[in-house]
Structure 1
Amino acid sequence: MNHTINGLVKRPSLALLGTEPLRAAFELARNFLASPRPSKPGDGHPVVIFPGLGADGHSVATLRDHCRKLGYDAFDWGQGFNTGPQGDLDAWLQALKLQIEGLLSKHEQPATLIGWSLGGLYAREVSKLMLPRVRQVITIGTPFNADADHTNAGWLFRLLSSSSTTLDPLLSRRLRTPPPLRTSSIYSRSDGVVAWQSCRHNRRSRLVQDIEVEGSHIGMGWNREVLDVVTDRLGQGPGLWRPYAKAS
């Protein structure tokens, strides 16, 4: 059964949620059996990957290795398990920003920040604090555009607000505002954890694109379509931003 929230956005059905593990396993097998797609060598710029809630660097290993094989210096956020923001949100984000700057200290090129689920909120908010050290942000199944609990997990609202059902309007507006740089949001209508509508931007912009794929939420880190999108986004040099077009 779907649950309508605010009369506009529905949580994913319990059927979708229940089939998440099976669909994620299928996506993993599909990626393992697929032939590598040809691509131009990367320019070596750093790529920082933020895992989802309750996950660590192991969960993004496939994505990280994929970026490295393309020729980028990819690594996870280096903080172990993602247990959510601790204490004051702004102070926590400032501390995270300093930690990421430390990871990037040996690099001269601006970085790409990639965040999966809750990690995507980190990538978006930290990028706003690190301009011009960041060249672009890519989020994967990240519900940044929400003002009520549009998930089947409830983590966003327990972590970011004192209410389990709604977000403070100012915080909600802040989270849905994209960083002032190239931003891609990858989402799936068959996501069983977060409402796909909450992963899309309200306003179109030359710097923002929402990209739909087919897949589960917990399998997005190794989903073949997701990896193709990441390949395309990383391959665009400074000043060469263009909309993503799925290869035929």
Structure 2
Amino acid sequence: MASLPFQEARQEWSRRFALAAEPCPDEARGPRALLLMREFLWPLEPLKRRFSTLEVAPARTPKRVMMLPGFGAHPVRMRWMARQLERAGHTAKSWGMGINLGATADRFAKAEQRLLDLYDRRGEQLVLVGWSLGGVMARELAKRHPEKVEKVVTMGSPFSGSPRANNGWRAYQAIAGHRVDEPEIETVLTEKPPVETVAFWSPRDGVVHPRSACGRVGERDRAIALRCSHMGFVLSNEAVSALLSELERS
């Protein structure tokens, strides 16, 4: 009997390995290999910021912002961006969990409860800012609770086209334990939330295909092109400046 937990764990990991090894049925492709390799230069982003100017003006109407990290990322990866928002006078809140290991039903339920708790504290709508998978989850939260969300801003989020049009879907299936096109929550990813929805995308994204992050007319209200890497969405002056401008438009 003592070996039963080990056997169950081995079977589970075998199942996840099989998910990661699946062929791509729709022949979707992520960004080119060169762009993906450039993503590993993200530690240089703080140095690059020194060669550009970031002006943070006081916000005319401060917002409360809930920030959702990307797949495999801890909220600390968005901390620099959060600090810039707070410099402007906004209130930045994390999603209340650690590393984002996939949009499982349990993790989504916790993110949903976090949104409800933040709203109940002041009764004020929040702006949801989601990076990569975090943006996909932000869109779903806004669909369920539009009265509590003022706006959704996604950054390099794969909400359009094939869910495999990125360079991370195999890792996602292995870690989350389900197929990218078989989410644990009932949804239509391309459906636009009933609130203002803005998509940041970049032709230099090495993880998510630009078309998937940009979306089509009707899947978001506006799309804004940046020239940063996928990691740069939360680390570059350009992305922060674009986000601050969006918050001023609300």
Same fold (TM over 0.5): yes
Give the gaps of 5 or more residues in structure 2: 1-23
Work out whether 1:98 is the aligned partner of 2:113: yes
- Distance in 2 between residues matched to 1:213 and 1:135, nearest whole Å: 23
Map of 1:201 onto structure 2: 215
- Distance in 2 between residues matched to 1:5 and 1:219, nearest whole Å: 30
Q: Secondary structure at the match of 2:192?
A: coil
- Distance in 1 between residues matched to 2:89 and 2:127, nearest whole Å: 13
Work out whether 1:232 is the aligned partner of 2:245: yes
Q: Could you list the per-position Cα deviations for residues 43-92 of structure 1 after superposition, in whole angstroms to 9, with x for gaps in the alignment?
A: 23210000111211210011111111111111211111111133xx3x65
- Distance in 1 between residues matched to 2:163 and 2:94, nearest whole Å: 29
Work out whether 1:15 is the aligned partner of 2:34: yes
Q: Percent identity?
A: 24
Map of 1:176 onto structure 2: 190
Work out whether 1:112 is the aligned partner of 2:130: no
Counterpart contact for 1:139–1:184, Cα < 8 Å: yes
- Distance in 1 between residues matched to 2:96 and 2:60, nearest whole Å: 23
Work out whether 1:70 is the aligned partner of 2:88: yes
Counterpart contact for 1:116–1:141, Cα < 8 Å: yes
Map of 2:53 onto structure 1: 35
Work out whether 1:138 is the aligned partner of 2:138: no
Q: Could you list the per-position Cα deviations for residues 161-206 of structure 1 after superposition, in whole angstroms to 9, with x for gaps in the alignment?
A: 854xx7259x89711111011111101111111111111222248x
Q: Which amino acid aligns with 1:18?
A: M
Counterpart contact for 2:35–2:204, Cα < 8 Å: yes
Cα offset, 1:219, TM superposition: 2.1
Q: Which amino acid aligns with 2:226?
A: V
Counterpart contact for 2:66–2:127, Cα < 8 Å: yes
Counterpart contact for 1:161–1:168, Cα < 8 Å: no
- Distance in 1 between residues matched to 2:131 and 2:182, nearest whole Å: 23
- Distance in 1 between residues matched to 2:147 and 2:175, nearest whole Å: 28
Map of 1:210 onto structure 2: 223
Q: Secondary structure at the match of 1:105?
A: helix
RMSD: 2.7
Map of 2:101 onto structure 1: 83
Aligned residues: 226
- Distance in 1 between residues matched to 2:32 and 2:215, nearest whole Å: 22
Give 1 or 2: higher helix fraction: 2
Give the gaps of 5 or more residues in structure 1: 238-248
- Distance in 1 between residues matched to 2:135 and 2:150, nearest whole Å: 15
Counterpart contact for 1:11–1:151, Cα < 8 Å: yes
- Distance in 1 between residues matched to 2:92 and 2:204, nearest whole Å: 28
- Distance in 2 between residues matched to 1:13 and 1:172, nearest whole Å: 31
Q: Could you list the per-position Cα deviations for residues 190-246 of structure 1 after superposition, in whole angstroms to 9, with x for gaps in the alignment?
A: 1111111111222248x7111111111112101222111101110123xxxxxxxxx
- Distance in 1 between residues matched to 2:39 and 2:25, nearest whole Å: 22
Counterpart contact for 2:69–2:100, Cα < 8 Å: yes
Counterpart contact for 1:147–1:172, Cα < 8 Å: no
Q: Could you list the per-position Cα deviations for residues 10-68 of structure 1 after superposition, in whole angstroms to 9, with x for gaps in the alignment?
A: 4211111112122x344332224533325342423210000111211210011111111
Counterpart contact for 1:55–1:81, Cα < 8 Å: yes
